[in-house]
Amino acid sequence: MKIRVNGEGVQLKQPIQTVEELLHHLNLEKKSLIIEHNHIILKKDQHRESQVSDGDQFEIVHFVGGG
Amino acid sequence: MLSDNRYHRQMLFEPIGEAGQRSIQESHVLIIGVGALGSSSSEMLVRAGVGKITLMDRDYVEESNLQRQQLFSEEDVKNQTPKVIAAKNRLQAINSHTIIEAKVIDVGVEELDSIAEEVDVIIDATDNFDTRLIINDICQKYRKPWVYGACVASYGVTFTVLPDETPCLQCLMDHIPNDGATCDTVGIISPAVQMVVAHQVTEVIKLLTDNQDALSGKLIAFDLWKNQQMELKVATLKDENCPSCSQAKYPNLEYQAQVKTAVLCGRNTVQIRAGTQKNFHFIQFKEHLKDLNLTNFFSNPYLVSFEIDPFRIVVFKDGRTLIHGTKNPQEAKKLYYRFVG
Ligand SMILES: [Zn+2]
- pLDDT single digits (tens) B252-279: 998 654 568 888 867 889 999 876 545 6
CB contact under 8 A, B179 and A30: yes
pLDDT tens-digit profile of B236-250? Answer: 999 999 999 999 999
Distance B313 CA to ligand 1 centre (A): 39
CA distances from residue A27 to A21, A23, A24, B20, B188 in whole angstroms, order as listed: 10, 6, 5, 46, 21
The two beta strands, A8-11 and B155-161, are unpaired
Cα(B29) to centroid of ligand 1, in Å? 23
Query: What are the two backbone dihedrals, phi and then psi, of residue B171, each rounded to the nearest 5 degrees?
Result: -65, -40
Residue-wise pLDDT for A44-59, tens only, equals 999 999 999 999 999 9
Residues of A in contact with B57 (CB under 8 A): none
Report the amino acid identity of residue A60: I
Interatomic CA distance for residues B107 and B330, integer angstroms: 22
- Answer whether B125's CB lies under 8 Å from B35's CB: yes
Question: What was the pLDDT predicted at B274?
Answer: 75
**What ipTM was predicted for this assembly?**
0.95
* Domain locations along chain A: 2-62
Q: Is B127 helix (H, G, I), strand (E, B) or coil?
A: coil
Sheet containing B121-124: order of strands: B99-104, B52-57, B28-32, B121-124, B146-152, B155-161, B219-223, B228-232
Distance CA B183, CA B59 (A): 15
Question: Mean pLDDT across chain B, nearest whole number?
Answer: 92
Q: Where are the alpha helices (DSSP H) in chain B?
A: 2-5, 8-12, 17-25, 36-48, 74-78, 83-94, 109-113, 129-141, 169-172, 190-208, 282-290, 329-339
Residue among B37, B176, B237 whose CB faces A43 most closely: B237
What is the distance between the alpha carbons of residues B174 and B133, in angstroms, rounded to a whole number?
12
The pLDDT value recorded for residue B1 is: 42
pLDDT digits (tens, 9 = 90+) for B124-157: 999 888 899 999 999 999 999 999 999 999 999 9
3-state secondary structure of B212: helix
Distance, C-alpha B302 to centroid of its chain: 18
> What is the reported pTM?
0.88
Q: Which CATH architecture has domain B260-339?
A: 2-Layer Sandwich (3.30)
Of B38, B128, B230, the CB nearest to A6: B230
- The residues of B annotated as belonging to the active site are 183
Is A64–B219 a contact, with Cβ atoms under 8 angstroms apart?
A: no
Domain B2-253 class?
Answer: alpha beta
Residue A21: enclosing H or E segment and its boundaries?
Answer: helix A19-25
Nearest one of B283, B267, B275 to B322, comparing CA atoms: B267
Say if B177 is an interface residue toward chain A (CB within 8 Å): yes
Contacts of A48 in chain B (CB under 8 A): none
H helices within B185-243, ranges in order? 190-208
* Residue B143 neighbours by CB distance under 10 Å: 11
Residues of B in contact with A32 (CB under 8 A): 173-177
Q: Phi/psi of residue A6, each to 5°?
A: 50, 45
Q: Is the peptide bond before B243 cis (omega within 30 degrees of 0)?
A: no
Q: Taking an 8 Å Cβ-Cβ cutoff, which residues of chain A contact chain B?
A: 6-8, 30-32, 34, 36, 41, 43-44, 59-67
CA of B228 to the centre of ligand 1 (A): 28
Per CATH, which fold does A2-62 belong to? Ubiquitin-like (UB roll) (3.10.20)
Could you tell me which residues are beta bridge partners of residue B305? B298, B314
Domain locations along chain B: 2-253, 260-339
